[in-house]
Amino acid sequence: MQKMTVTEVFLAFLKLGFTSFGGPVAHLGFFREEFVVRKSAISETDYADLVALCQFLPGPASSQVGIGIGISQAGWRGGLAAWCGFTLPSAIMLIIFSYAVVRLENSVLQTGWLHGLKVVAVAVVAQAIWGMGRALCPDWSRRFVAVLAALITLLCSGVSGQLGAIFGGALFGILFLRDQQTNQQRPRLKAPGKKPAIFSLSLFFVLLLVLPLLAKTGVQTVALIDSFYRSGALVFGGGHIVLPLLQAQVVAPGWIGQDLFLAGYGMAQAVPGPLFTFSAYLGAAMKIAPNGWIGGLLCLLAIFLPSFLLLFGVLPYWSELREKARIRSALGGINAAVVGLLIAAFYDPVWSGGILSLGDFILALVAFGLLTWWKLPPWLVVAATALGGALLFVVVGG
Over the stretch 80-101, which tens digit does the pLDDT of each residue have? 999 999 999 999 999 998 888 7
Q: Is 186 a residue whose pLDDT tops 50?
A: no
CA dihedral 166, 172, 175, 177 (to 10 degrees): -100
- Per-residue pLDDT averaged across 33-48, rounded? 83
pLDDT in tens, 148-169: 999 998 898 766 787 788 889 9
Q: Can you tell me the mean pLDDT for 257-278?
A: 84
Average pLDDT over residues 58-69: 89
DSSP 8-class letter at 3: P
- pLDDT for 296 equals 95
* CA 31 vs CA 9, 224, 339: distances in Å: 12, 32, 25
Other C-beta atoms closer than 10 Å to the C-beta of 314 total 20
Q: How far is CA 3 from CA 7, 72, 190, 311, 313, in A?
A: 12, 8, 12, 20, 22
What angle do helix axes 24-31 and 6-19 make, rounded to 10 degrees?
Answer: 140
Task: Please give the C-alpha separations between residue 59 and each of 242, 294, 347, 354, in angstroms, as whole numbers.
Answer: 9, 23, 23, 26
Residues 6 or more apart in contact with residue 171 via CB below 8 angstroms: 330, 333
Residue 110 has pLDDT above 60, yes or no: no
Work out the average pLDDT over 60-68: 89
Nearest 5°: the CA angle 268, 388, 362 is 100
Note the pLDDT tens digit of each residue in 9-19.
999 999 999 88
Give 267's pLDDT tier (boundaries 50, 70, 90): confident
Contacts of 28 (CB under 8 A, 6+ apart): 51, 61, 62, 65
If we measure between CA atoms, which residue out of 252, 243, 359 comes closest to residue 303? Answer: 243
Which of 13-17, 42-46, 49-53, 178-182 shows the highest mean pLDDT?
A: 13-17
Angle between helices 140-155 and 325-345 (to 10 degrees): 50
Q: Residue 187: what pLDDT?
A: 46
Residue 256 sits at the vertex; the CA angle it makes with 254 and 262, to the nearest 5 degrees, is: 125
- Size of the chain in residues: 398
